[in-house]
Amino acid sequence: MTNLRSYLLAGALAAAALGGATLGTTVPASAQVYCGVYVQAGPPAPIYEPVPGSPGPGYYWVGGYWRWNGYRYVWARGRYEYAPYSGATWHPGHWVHNRYGWSWHAGHWGRPY
Domain that holds residue 87: 50-113
SS3 call for 11:
helix
Predicted TM-score (pTM) of the model is 0.63
pLDDT in tens, 83-109: 999 889 999 999 999 999 999 999 999
CB 77 within 8 Å of CB 64: yes
Q: Which of 85, 97, 92 is nearest to 107 (CA)?
A: 92
Count of structural domains, the chain = 1
Mean pLDDT over the full length of the chain? 78
Q: Judge whether 70 lies within some domain.
A: yes
Q: Judge whether 61 lies within some domain.
A: yes
SS3 call for 4:
helix
CB 79 within 8 Å of CB 15: no
Residue 79 predicted with pLDDT over 80: yes
Radius of gyration of the chain (CA): 21
CA distances from 24 to 14, 21, 31 (A): 18, 8, 17
Q: Judge whether 20 lies within some domain.
A: no
